[in-house]
Amino acid sequence: MRIVLVGPPGAGKGTQAAFLAKNLSIPHISTGDLFRANISRQTELGKLAKSYMDAGNLVPDEVTIAMAKDRMEQPDAVNGFLLDGFPRNVSQAEALDELLESEGMQLDAVLDLEVPEDEVVKRIAGRRVCRNESAHVFHVTYKPPAKEGVCDVCGGELYQRDDDSEETVRKRLEVYHTQTEPIIDYYKAQGLVVTIPALGKVEDVTARAMEALKRVVDDK
């Protein structure tokens, strides 16, 4: 299957993408991973992307699209893929359609992870990270430490990252509503959008998504 995963920041896209890709035996193609891989390997696209990033500018769509095209042409993606973080806007969605059409392919579904805005803010703004080890992550509501402000694993100080503050989260949501959300209407016009309520346990959300994808396959 060829799937695009969309949803606001804090919807759990990365987590769901990993589970779904494993269940469907297709590669999880994340924009963030693409950038990191190209930059670390010092590919021409990576060098180009880094030059924009170092200057504090957004990487142009054509560079992102070229990276995605290169990744989708790898052997492990021949029978399908799950795109996470791409396309990020309507022009990228149009470019993806053109790319797939040129290869005689098309998307099977666009999974829209739906989470209320207040829940998104609660999820992200409640995160606390250990200063000693960033992999030690807690949450004031969903995974509180035994002792407030102290990491259960190593005793390090827990803090809120600047980009997890409520103000920053709401700004990120504004960007999502302005730039990315329009692609949902774009894909709805093609009959590809499947909306998945993304509240509850991770495994329950995955089960809903897998059931929805099964219906997509059955309908074809």
Query: Residue 201, Cβ neighbours under 10 Å: how many?
Result: 8
Radius of gyration of the chain (CA): 18
**What distance in Å separates the CA atoms of residue 44 and residue 53, rounded to the nearest whole number?**
14
Catalytic site includes residue 161 = yes
Cis geometry, peptide bond prior to residue 87 (ω within 30 degrees of 0): yes
- Count the Cβ atoms, other than its own, within 10 Å of residue 101: 10
Q: Which of these is catalytic: 2, 13, 122, 128?
A: 13
Best CA proximity match to 154, nearest among 129, 138, 136, 128 = 136
Closest CA to 38 of 52, 53, 48: 48
Would you call 127 a catalytic residue per the annotation? yes
Catalytically annotated residue among 47, 161, 188, 214: 161
Active site residue 2: no
143 flagged as catalytic:
no
Is residue 13 annotated as part of the catalytic site, yes or no?
yes
Residue type for position 178: T
Q: At what angle do helices 44-54 and 31-40 cross, to 10 degrees?
A: 110
Residue tagged active-site, from 123, 127, 128, 208: 127
Residues 217 and 204: their CA atoms lie apart, in Å, by: 20
Catalytic position from the list 50, 69, 88, 170: 88
Q: Which long-range contacts (CB under 8 A, 24 or more apart) does 50-59 make?
A: 59/35
Q: Give me the catalytic one of 50, 69, 170, 172.
A: 172
Hey, which residues are catalytic here? 13, 88, 127, 161, 172
